[in-house]
Amino acid sequence: MDVMSTIESQDFSNLRIDLHSHTKFSDGSLTPQELIERATNFQIDVLAITDHDTVSALDIANNYISEKKYALNLINGIEISTAWQGFEIHIVGLNIDRTHPALLSLIESQQVARESRAITMGEKLAKCGFDGIYEKAKELANGGSLTRAHFAKVLLQQGSISKMQAAFDKYIGKGKRAYVKPNWCSIKEAIDAIHQAGGTAVMAHPVRYDLSTKWLRRLVIQFKEEGGDGLEIVLPQMSNDQRQLMLNFCLEYDLHASMGSDFHHPNKWSDLGRNLRMPEKALPIWSLWPEKLRSEMLTR
């Protein structure tokens, strides 16, 4: 068989694929081992771990899979925070070389940005009447990426708010009293680092940025111009209109499609690999991956 007919004969539609998930190394609640156990129990075939601005979970997860001789295919990933027109846009890198110097150097500067944002956020929260939150959030993050979710959890645990979302709505969400404009890299810098590390660059959850269709289109156009490979168009809790719009963007701007649950912790509405189905008209992101990896995905 020639290469084209090999690719065409490959059928990925029966695989359970989830290309967006988090561990304790950022704001997920499971250890890498627990996440792998959950994915295996849910009979997931292909899982990407995509922690915020860190690759620390990947070695542990890969070693655990080998040790247990699980058939799960792990895709090495990352979710990089970027700044665009005052918005925070997340770029997922898939099938990255987690040791590549360009990627590691970007991670380092992102971690510096996280730390200084966290300190300022702590100061602003103190002015709102909550002392010592930075220290507690840092302790909770336990060496992993320090995120706003950690701040929200500390406020919840000490009874300052009644649910996590309230922390964002009242204090640390964009434009609120303790919001700090972060010093993230640009979209282009994230895409370039991912590409240098041999990965594919996907815009995470485009429907969640609270952008009008006009602005979302601008964002997608720039992402494509700067070398972006795909949009995450299949995620839990999307309306049919949103689904259609995302698919249209992919077709119109020649972008591939990715899918993922953005799993952080077990909850009622979504779980690892649940309700994710690639639309027939979309070009899946894995069609850009090396043939060797694609065959591994099919042979598990």
The least distance separating ligand AMP from the CB of residue 171, rounded to whole angstroms, comes to 11
Pick what 204 binds: ligand AMP, Mn ion, none; C-beta below 5 to 8 Å, kind-dependent: Mn ion
Q: What is the CA radius of gyration of the chain?
A: 19
Binding residues vs ligand AMP (CB under 6 A): 27, 52, 81, 147-149, 165, 168, 173, 264
**By C-beta, is 148 or 224 nearer to ligand AMP?**
148
- Listing from the earlier edge strand, what are the strands of the sheet with 17-18? 17-18, 46-49, 73-84, 87-94, 200-203, 230-234, 256-259
Tokens of 239: 């309306």
Return the residue nearest Mn ion (CB atom): 90
The least distance separating Mn ion from the CB of residue 205, rounded to whole angstroms, comes to 6
**By C-beta, is 45 or 53 nearer to ligand AMP?**
53
Q: How many CB atoms lie within 10 A of CB 244?
A: 13
Contact of 199 with 94, CB cutoff 8 Å:
yes
Residue 56 has φ and ψ, to the nearest 5°, of -60, -25
**By C-beta, is 47 or 149 nearer to ligand AMP?**
149
Residue 234 to residue 280: CA distance in whole angstroms: 12
Tokens of 167: 């922390």
Residue 220 to residue 203: CA distance in whole angstroms: 8
Tokens of 162: 């009644």
The least distance separating ligand AMP from the CB of residue 212, rounded to whole angstroms, comes to 18
The least distance separating ligand AMP from the CB of residue 22, rounded to whole angstroms, comes to 7
**By C-beta, is 208 or 218 nearer to ligand AMP?**
208
Pick what 81 binds: Mn ion, ligand AMP, none; C-beta below 5 to 8 Å, kind-dependent: ligand AMP
Binding residues vs Mn ion (CB under 5 A): 27, 79, 90, 204, 262
The least distance separating ligand AMP from the CB of residue 280, rounded to whole angstroms, comes to 30
Residue 249 to residue 193: CA distance in whole angstroms: 24
Q: Residue 186 has what DSSP assignment?
A: P
**By C-beta, is 130 or 171 nearer to ligand AMP?**
171
Pick what 224 binds: ligand AMP, Mn ion, none; C-beta below 5 to 8 Å, kind-dependent: none
**By C-beta, is 27 or 45 nearer to Mn ion?**
27
Angle at 199 between CA 118 and CA 21, to 5 degrees: 50
The least distance separating Mn ion from the CB of residue 255, rounded to whole angstroms, comes to 18
